[in-house]
Homo-oligomer: A and B are copies of this chain.
Amino acid sequence: MVSAHNHEGASPRPPAGKVRFELLTLGDELLLGLTANGHLAFIGQQLGRRGALLQRNVTITDEADAIAAQFRESWARSDVVITTGGLGPTCDDRTREVIAEVLGRKLVFNPAIELAIAERFARFGRKMTANNLKQAYVFERGDVLENANGTAPGLWVEQEGKVLIMLPGPPNEMQPMFTEQVIPRLAARGLVRDREAYVQIRTAGVGESALETRLQPIFDRAGPGLSVAFCAHQGAVDCRVSSPGGALSATRLEEVAGECALLLGDDFICYGHDSLARVCAELLRAQEKKLAVVETATGGLLANAFSEVCGACKFFAGGVVCCSNDVKMQLLDVPECLLLQHGAVSNEAAVAMATGAAETLGADYALAVTGFAGAAATAGGGSQVGTIFVALFSPAGVWSKKLSYPGPRSTVRVRAVNAALDWLRRELLRAQRGGQMPVTRIGVMQ
């Protein structure tokens, strides 16, 4: 919702990409490590998608003098300053007043906000206290960013050709406000691009440098105006093509990305930022198939990967997290003699677990992950640490493979989950094409 706004000081703006953005995250709870600073990652990513690089993020205490000094400095060297936090109703939330004073602006009472706050309290059956009215004070000649998920509205002020944006601290209030109100306003003023600044191709199965080598001929043909950036993360590599100078049109960038996708075949996951779980979900839904999972080393992470996908029940039959052989035998009909002969961490056990999960949970596809993720804190441990077996059950057969990851436990776990999901994705793509799995119906892939 973009309400009316005021431009003060109509000085010429720098072109998007050269705009100096700075983020001030306020709060002792951040400096004391009581709350993680997720605002930097979110806002940095949102700006990055629109071709802007956040130049700096400063986290400081919410003490009034510190805020005033830091804001003065940030305002002097930036085109856009974004603050998060300090807009709450209590007496230690002084950010609004302190910054108004630095800018030499008045705060005025806004009855419409008071009404919205009162209505929100009434809806939840709570009583509004007097200190909540503090949140109804806004900058004179500033704009208000409505808050659908909380009481503190965001504030938008323009002065000296610069923009100040003050946002509430809770992520579920700040994030929709940023994407729905802040980004469109910034775009309307030419401070960020009015569309994604790059086309992103998400890939799996190819390392960063091998990917570059494979795609280089396409980049060469596209010409000198093309800029390419790679970013590897836990089993996937993103490739972003852009044209910072504007030599290549958006349509041309999409063509280049399309050529890359075609060349990569099944190593291409998707355009944009979808997760592997979401891509698998789409394929399962389109094919009207159901998935089951069973896991030991990943302890619920694989099942949880689908929790952010809407309507997971449509394609996700369920999951089993097992720690003991008893559970594998009892719930998944894994034969005891198999576990005794091959061990609980083996290709054979993984195959039996995947098969058992599919049958017991009535699913068409099943993933099993078992292995040694390592001790919680460090990368130390036995020689088998980082060894993971993943099995995939599909209507076409069941297979298992052994994987090995260096790194700490948390990395091994995420890599294992991503490897399992990527394998499922490839098998779903093949099923979609009506292709056949080579070799035998039950096998071990080396």
The interface of chain A, by Cβ under 8 A from chain B, is 28-38, 40-46, 48, 53-61, 66, 70, 124, 148-149, 171-172, 176, 231, 233, 293, 298-304, 306-310, 312-313, 316-324, 326-327, 330-331, 360-362, 375-379, 406-408, 410-411, 413
Q: What's the Cα separation between A64 and B252 when bound, in Å?
A: 34
Give chain B residues whose Cβ lies under 8 Å from the Cβ of A41.
Answer: 30, 33, 35-37
Q: Closest residue of chain B to A73, judged by CB?
A: B73
Give chain B residues whose Cβ lies under 8 Å from the Cβ of A377.
Answer: 176
Q: Are B307 and A299 in contact (CB under 8 A)?
A: yes
Within 8 Å by CB of A59, from B56, B304, B331, B413, lies B56
Give chain B residues whose Cβ lies under 8 Å from the Cβ of A35.
Answer: 41
Q: Are B176 and A378 in contact (CB under 8 A)?
A: yes
Q: Are B55 and A30 in contact (CB under 8 A)?
A: no
Q: What's the Cα separation between A376 and B318 when bound, in Å?
A: 18
Q: Closest residue of chain B to A291, judged by CB?
A: B323
Tell me the smallest distance from the CB of A170 to a CB of chain B, in Å: 9
Tell me the smallest distance from the CB of A68 to a CB of chain B, in Å: 14
Q: What's the Cα separation between A60 and B59 when bound, in Å?
A: 12
**6 other contacts beyond A55-B66, A172-B410, A318-B323, with CB at 8 A cut-off?**
A57-B57, A124-B406, A300-B304, A309-B376, A318-B327, A320-B331
> What 3 A-B pairs are tightest by C-beta distance, nearest first?
A33-B45, A33-B44, A300-B300
Give chain B residues whose Cβ lies under 8 Å from the Cβ of A310.
Answer: 375-376
Q: Are B59 and A40 in contact (CB under 8 A)?
A: yes
Q: Are A61 and B57 in contact (CB under 8 A)?
A: no
Q: Are B58 and A32 in contact (CB under 8 A)?
A: no
Q: What's the Cα separation between A97 and B437 when bound, in Å?
A: 54
Given contacts A46-B33, A378-B176, are A326 and B320 in contact (CB under 8 A)?
Answer: no
Q: What's the Cα separation between A173 and B324 when bound, in Å?
A: 32
Q: What's the Cα separation between A202 and B100 when bound, in Å?
A: 39
Give chain B residues whose Cβ lies under 8 Å from the Cβ of A375.
Answer: 310
Give chain B residues whose Cβ lies under 8 Å from the Cβ of A176.
Answer: 377-378
Give chain B residues whose Cβ lies under 8 Å from the Cβ of A57.
Answer: 30-31, 37, 57-59
Q: Are A312 and B316 in contact (CB under 8 A)?
A: no
Q: Are B55 and A32 in contact (CB under 8 A)?
A: no
Q: What's the Cα separation between A130 and B28 when bound, in Å?
A: 43
Given contacts A55-B31, A176-B378, are A321 and B320 in contact (CB under 8 A)?
Answer: yes
Q: Closest residue of chain B to A34, judged by CB?
A: B231
Q: Are A316 and B323 in contact (CB under 8 A)?
A: yes
Give chain B residues whose Cβ lies under 8 Å from the Cβ of A30.
Answer: 40-41, 44, 57
What are 27 pairs between A and B in contact, CB < 8 Å? Answer: A31-B44, A31-B54, A32-B54, A33-B45, A33-B48, A37-B37, A55-B61, A56-B60, A56-B70, A57-B57, A57-B58, A57-B59, A149-B379, A171-B408, A176-B377, A299-B306, A299-B312, A300-B319, A303-B303, A309-B376, A310-B376, A313-B323, A317-B323, A318-B322, A319-B322, A330-B360, A330-B361
